[in-house]
C-alpha cells in the first residue's frame, strides 16, 4: 500500500498517510508502534520513514517527534535498536516542510531539560539537529566536545562546534592512536584533518603530530587479509588528502605531509593504475562494476588523469541501455546517479559535454526508459534521474525527442505534487 501511495495522486496519498497516523497514534492499539520498534525493514520501517518524510501538519509532527525522542531516551546509547530510531529522527530532520516546527520544538523548556539531562549519552539529539537548536544548546554542544571529543564523534561536529580544546583533544588521540586496534565505531582520522583544513584551523605542527601514527598503517596492514577494507576506508582517503596538500602552495604544510606521500604513494598508484586500465567495464560482477566506476573519479583527479577517464564514461553508460534488465540492477541505478551527480560539477560537466559518446549514451538511456521502465528498476528513482538527465542533456546540446519528453514529464510531476 505504501508503494502504491507514493505513485498515486497527491490527494489519495494524503488520505493514506492520514490513516497511517490515525492508526499509529491509537493509544488503545499500539500494534503499528510495536512494528515500528520490532518489525522488519520493508514491512514497516521503510514505510514509516516514508511517512515521516512527508509530514506537513503540526499535530502529526508533535506526536511523532515526541514519540521518537522518548524512544531514543528510553534505551542505552549502545543498544542496536537506537540505530532505527536515529533513522526515524533523521527522516524528520530532513523534512523541509516541518523546519519551523522543529525550531519550535527545540525552543521548548521541556525539550531542553530532557536533552541536558541525557546529553552525555544522547548528544546526537542535539548535534544532528544543530540547524534547529538555540544558542544555549549550541554552547552546550561546544562545551561537551571540549571534554568528550573522540574518534566516535562525527568529524562534522568538530567543524560546527569548534574550540581549541576539542581540536587539541582529537589531535592528541590521533597522535597516540595504535592502529593495530581499530573499532568499527571510530571515524577515520582523515575526516577530522579535512574538517580542520576546511575551517582554516589546520597547521603544519598539527600534521607533524598526527601523520606519523597514520603512516604506520602502511606497515601494519601490508599483506593483511583485511587490507582492502582498511585501504578503502582509511589509506585511500588519507593519501588523497595529503596528496592534495602536497600539491598546494603552502611550503610548511607540504613539508609536514611529505613523508606520508612517499609511504602511501606506491600502493595508491598501483591500485589507481589497475582501475584506470578500465578492464572492469566488461565485468559481469555488477558490484565490482559500480565500485570501480565510483573509484575511477577520485583516482583520475588525484593522478591528474581526468582526460583518460572521459572516453570510457560513454561505455560505462552504455551498459545501462545494452545489458539485460535482470538480476540486481541497483548497481546500474547507482552508476546513473553517480554520473548525474558529477554532472553537477562544472569541471566534469565541461569535459562530459565535449564527448559525443557520452551525449549519445545519455540520449539512448532516456529513450530506453521513455519506452518502458522494467520492473527490476525502482521506477520512482529512475523517473527522478531522467528529469535531472533531461536538464543536463539540454545544457549539453543533446538533440533528441526524449529530452523534451522527460522535460514535459518533469513539469507534470511538479504540478501533481
Q: Would you state the pLDDT for residue 226?
A: 47
Q: Would you state the pLDDT for residue 225?
A: 42
pTM, two decimal places: 0.83
- Residues of the chain below pLDDT 70: 1-9, 39-43, 221-230, 326-328, 412-417
The three cell numbers of residue 263 are 609511504
- The C-alpha atoms of residue 73 and residue 322 are separated, in whole angstroms, by 51
Considering only CA atoms, give the Rg of the chain.
Answer: 24
DSSP assignment string, 365-408: HHHHHHH---TTS-HHHHHHHHHHHHHHHHHHT---HHHHHHHH
Q: Would you state the pLDDT for residue 13?
A: 81
Q: Can you state the angle between helices 236-246 and 286-302, rounded to 10 degrees?
A: 20
Q: Which residues in 229-375 belong to E strands, given as ranges?
A: none
Q: Would you state the pLDDT for residue 2?
A: 61
Q: Would you state the pLDDT for residue 234?
A: 82
Q: Report DSSP state, residue 39.
A: S
Q: Would you state the pLDDT for residue 32?
A: 83
Q: Would you state the pLDDT for residue 181?
A: 78
- The C-alpha atoms of residue 247 and residue 165 are separated, in whole angstroms, by 30
Which of 187, 234, 192 minimizes the C-alpha distance to 215?
234
Which of 26, 100, 89 minimizes the C-alpha distance to 56?
100
* Whether 365 contacts 389, CB under 8 Å: yes
Q: Would you state the pLDDT for residue 1?
A: 52
Q: Would you state the pLDDT for residue 229?
A: 62
Q: Would you state the pLDDT for residue 380?
A: 87
Alpha helices in 155-250 (DSSP H): 155-160, 164-175, 189-198, 204-220, 227-230, 236-246
Q: Would you state the pLDDT for residue 82?
A: 85
Residue with cell string 515521516: 52
The three cell numbers of residue 390 are 533531461
Q: Can you state the angle between helices 135-148 and 109-117, rounded to 10 degrees?
A: 10
- Of all helices (H) and strands (E), which one includes residue 124? helix 124-127
405: buried, middle or exposed (CB in 10 Å: 19+, 13-18, 0-12)?
A: middle
The three cell numbers of residue 279 are 578492464
Residue with cell string 516541518: 98
CA atoms 91, 96, 98, 101: torsion sign = positive
Q: Would you state the pLDDT for residue 415?
A: 43
Amino acid at each position: 500500500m505504501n508503494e502504491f501511495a507514493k505513485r498515486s495522486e497527491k490527494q489519495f496519498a494524503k488520505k493514506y498517510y492520514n490513516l497511517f497516523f490515525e492508526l499509529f497514534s491509537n493509544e488503545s492499539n499500539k500494534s503499528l508502534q510495536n512494528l515500528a520498534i520490532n518489525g522488519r525493514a520493508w514491512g514497516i520501517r521503510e514505510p514509516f520513514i516514508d511517512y515521516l518524510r512527508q509530514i506537513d501538519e503540526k499535530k502529526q509532527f508533535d506526536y511523532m517527534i515526541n514519540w521518537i525522542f522518548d524512544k531514543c531516551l528510553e534505551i542505552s546509547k549502545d543498544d542496536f535498536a537506537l540505530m532505527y530510531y536515529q533513522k526515524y529522527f533523521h527522516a524528520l530532520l530532513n523534512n523541509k516542510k516541518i523546519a519551523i516546527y522543529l525550531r519550535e520544538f527545540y525552543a521548548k523548556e521541556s525539550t531542553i531539560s530532557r536533552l541536558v539531562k541525557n546529553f552525555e549519552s544522547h548528544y546526537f539529539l542535539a548535534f544532528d539537529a544543530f540547524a534547529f537548536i538555540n544558542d544555549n544548546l549550541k554552547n552546550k554542544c561546544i562545551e561537551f566536545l571540549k571534554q568528550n571529543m573522540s574518534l566516535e564523534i562525527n568529524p562534522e561536529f568538530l567543524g560546527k562546534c569548534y574550540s581549541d580544546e576539542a581540536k587539541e583533544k582529537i589531535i592528541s588521540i590521533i597522535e597516540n592512536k595504535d592502529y593495530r586496534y581499530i573499532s568499527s565505531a571510530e571515524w577515520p582520522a582523515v575526516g577530522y584533518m579535512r574538517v580542520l583544513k576546511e575551517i582554516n584551523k589546520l597547521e603544519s605542527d598539527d600534521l607533524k603530530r598526527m601523520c606519523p601514527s597514520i603512516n604506520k598503517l602502511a606497515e601494519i596492514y601490508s599483506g593483511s587479509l583485511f587490507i582492502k577494507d582498511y585501504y578503502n576506508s582509511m589509506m585511500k582517503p588519507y593519501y588523497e588528502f595529503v596528496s592534495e596538500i602536497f600539491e598546494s602552495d603552502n611550503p610548511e604544510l607540504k613539508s609536514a605531509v611529505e613523508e606520508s606521500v612517499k609511504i602511501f604513494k606506491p600502493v595508491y598508484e598501483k591500485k589507481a593504475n589497475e582501475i584506470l586500465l578500465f578492464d572492469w567495464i566488461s565485468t559481469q560482477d555488477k558490484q565490482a562494476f559500480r565500485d570501480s566506476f565510483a573509484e575511477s573519479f577520485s583516482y583520475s583527479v588525484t593522478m591528474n588523469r581526468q582526460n583518460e577517464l572521459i572516453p570510457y564514461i560513454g561505455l560505462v553508460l552504455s551498459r545501462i541501455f545494452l545489458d539485460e534488465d535482470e538480476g540486481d540492477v541497483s548497481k546500474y541505478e547507482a552508476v546513473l546517479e553517480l554520473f548525474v551527480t558529477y554532472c553537477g560539477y562544472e569541471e566534469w560537466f565541461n569535459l562530459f559535454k565535449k564527448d559525443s559518446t557520452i551525449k549519445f549514451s545519455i540520449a539512448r538511456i532516456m529513450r530506453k526508459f521513455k519506452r518502458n521502465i522494467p520492473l527490476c528498476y525502482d521506477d520512482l528513482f529512475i523517473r527522478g534521474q531522467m528529469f535531472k538527465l533531461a536538464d543536463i542533456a539540454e545544457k549539453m546540446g543533446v538533440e533528441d525527442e526524449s529530452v523534451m519528453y522527460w522535460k514535459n514529464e518533469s513539469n507534470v510531476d511538479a504540478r501533481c505534487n
